[in-house]
């Protein structure tokens, strides 16, 4: 149980375009989802915390107008990278905290590799 999926797993786009990444909890309801960014050989950096039905909370230094987060339901959160540039190329990982199922554990998606040309 507690499976989190991400789509797409890999995306390549041109500079200036927008990219949407989906994060879904497949077998549980997630009141809170988290979005992380990971650079090669580095740790995960929390970008934002997404709560269902409310605005996301962004970490310091993360541009909320560039990284749009929507958590429309208890099983889906989306991250949209707007006007992407090469420096946005990274590995983006989401996680979800389950309601009623080990709420103190985050379950992670498989990640999305974004390459901006």
Partner 1 sequence: AQSVAQPEDQVNVAEGNPLTVKCTYSVSGNPYLFWYVQYPNRGLQFLLKYITGDNLVKGSYGFEAEFNKSQTSFHLKKPSALVSDSALYFCAVRLGSARQLTFGSGTQLTVLP
By CB under 8 A, name the binding residues for partner 1. Answer: 4, 6, 32, 34, 41-44, 46, 49, 91, 93, 95, 97, 104-111, 113
Beta bridge partners of 13: 116
CB of 38 to partner 1, least distance (A): 9
Which residue, 15 or 102, has its beta carbon nearer to partner 1?
102
Which residue, 13 or 108, has its beta carbon nearer to partner 1?
108
Alpha carbon 69 to chain centroid distance? 8
Which residue, 66 or 113, has its beta carbon nearer to partner 1?
113
Q: What tokens appear for 104 in the block?
A: 């103190």
Q: What tokens appear for 42 in the block?
A: 């580095």
Residue 67 parent element (H or E): strand 67-73
Which residue, 42 or 83, has its beta carbon nearer to partner 1?
42
CB of 42 to partner 1, least distance (A): 7
Q: Which one-letter DSSP state was computed for residue 49?
A: E
Q: Is 111 left (phi over 0), alpha (psi -120 to 50) or beta?
A: left
CB of 16 to partner 1, least distance (A): 26
CB of 81 to partner 1, least distance (A): 18
Give the Cα separation of 73 and 11 in Å (integer).
24
């Amino acid at each position: 149980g507690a499976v989190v999926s991400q789509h797409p797993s890999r995306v390549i786009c041109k500079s200036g375009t927008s990219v949407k990444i989906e994060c879904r909890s497949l077998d549980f309801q997630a009141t809170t989802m988290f979005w992380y960014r990971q650079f090669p050989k580095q740790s995960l950096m929390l970008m934002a915390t997404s709560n269902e039905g409310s605005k996301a909370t962004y970490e310091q230094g993360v541009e909320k107008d560039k990284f749009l987060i929507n958590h429309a339901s208890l099983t889906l959160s989306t991250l949209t990278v707007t006007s992407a540039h090469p420096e946005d190329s990274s590995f983006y990982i989401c996680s979800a905290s389950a309601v009623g199922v080990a709420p103190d554990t985050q379950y992670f998606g498989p990640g999305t590799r974004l390459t901006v040309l």
